[in-house]
Amino acid sequence: MIEKAPNETEQGTPISSFYSNAFDSEETFMQDAKTGGSSKEGVNYTLLDRFSTPDLSDEQIEEVIEDYLGIENLENNIELLNESLNKAREYIEEYLHLKLPKEIKNIEKLKNARDILKIFKRTTTMKKGEGLGLSPAYCVLVSVTAAAFEFRKKKLENLVKQGEFIYYEKFLKVERKKNSDGKYITIEEDEGEFKNFKRIMWKKSDYDKLYIFDEESGSYMFADADFRGKSEDSIMSKFLNVAESSADKAYKDGVGIKFELLSSKKEKENIKNNAKNLVLLISRYIKKEFDVVGNLEFDNKDMFSIKEGKSLAKEIEKLLGSGKIKIEENENPYSDRKFQAFKINGKVKIPERGSDGGMIDDANFEVQIVLAENENESGFSEHNIYEGGKKLAILTRLMTSFSEKHLDIIARETSEKSSTGYSAEKIKNNWLKNKLVWIRPKNSKKKRLADKETIEDMISVGITPKDLIITKIKTK
């Protein structure tokens, strides 16, 4: 079990030296609660990024909470808030590896709106010259509870279940049953059954290894696959890390499957042909297995040349027997220049809760095909290393900074999960060199770590004092 960083949110730790500009006018604070946040210098931020609140009356606090959470009455949402509070404590300790103070661990079940107001009031910074006390810890708790509440209020668990349904029941065609804990387990199919997508190795480092057979071309290939890792933790992390994210955008993004095509040295020259065959197979498979709403859309990011794309479009058009197929050339400015991918997007009718027999929903989905050898999918860009780095950005956003010991814990966890074989030390040094900076207040010798991009954004919108000294980290 990964150890937790000691007392990161408790009184007396160096975090009190780094805390943000606490006080905005009540008018600005209340307005941001209504709108969900603001934008400054091209950076979006939300009410949760303020870390502490002005000294408000009970009535104002209740109004702020209801406006920000998008609810009409606190009392009517007690049960959902209790679930969110419990999830927040679990996320903070188990996902972020923060040790919460006893006062927060021992918070009893919320009984009424007054209990909620008591928690929110603890986020208020003490008067100038006094210590911050436990207000930073309560700020973290309130921020994460709001993210957990958003997940539950908008029933985003349905999105997770839909992804599992599409991947396991529609593509892999394995039976899923609930175990005694109420969680789904998958049961392998009869060996004699023909399948286009057959799992030959269970999940390792978040991916299954698949054997894929295309009866039309007679070709076979191997791929690592996953239903894009949608989970409550990953969706909450998006809310906490990206101010402009929302449940509505998560639904718009929909669910998806990622295939990383593998090849041996002998097959390397054939990988492009395998990618083309996989595009055709998946297009045909979607048409056969799903009730598609509208037309499928195709997006090429340097997987195929323009000439190859036009030829492939004609084959897809013939295959689907519908309209003129156009393959868009992906020009996303945020994509790595070396990134290669091909995406199939569409909308399909599937059970709202991800199990047969329920209400039917029109769900957005995406299938992404990438090459495992691509630099954007390997090395320090590998999925688990990316997720570990995201935790460092969330810690910066929630607490302004974190200790080197905390970095060691995240690096060790990431190394254990990663399929790259990189040691914790190698991952840590890469982050120190490319992602992190030292920060310290002026006239202080104490320094701590922060995600460079996140802390610069926080300073630019005035959340964090501008007199922080930022130092690039030198590594061997």
From the first residue on, what is the mean pLDDT of each consecutive set of 10 residues in the chain (476 residues)?
47 40 65 80 76 78 91 94 96 94 93 93 65 79 93 85 84 74 61 75 69 86 75 88 79 82 62 89 91 90 88 90 76 56 90 74 87 62 85 91 94 89 94 94 85 90 80 80
pLDDT at 283: 92
Question: 125: which 2 tokens?
Answer: 């910074």
Q: Is the dihedral of CA 314, 317, 320, 325 positive or negative?
A: positive
pLDDT at 16: 41
d(CA 449, CA 436): 7
Closest Cα partner for 370 from 229, 212, 261, 464?
Answer: 261
CA 298 to each of CA 111, 307, 345: distance values in angstroms, whole numbers, following the listed order: 51, 15, 6
Question: 152: which 2 tokens?
Answer: 């539950």
How many Cα atoms within 13 Å fall on the side-chain side of residue 42?
A: 1
Q: Which long-range contacts (CB under 8 A, 24 or more apart) does 250-253 make?
A: 250/154, 250/156, 250/159, 251/154, 251/156, 251/159, 251/364, 252/364, 253/364, 253/366
pLDDT at 10: 40
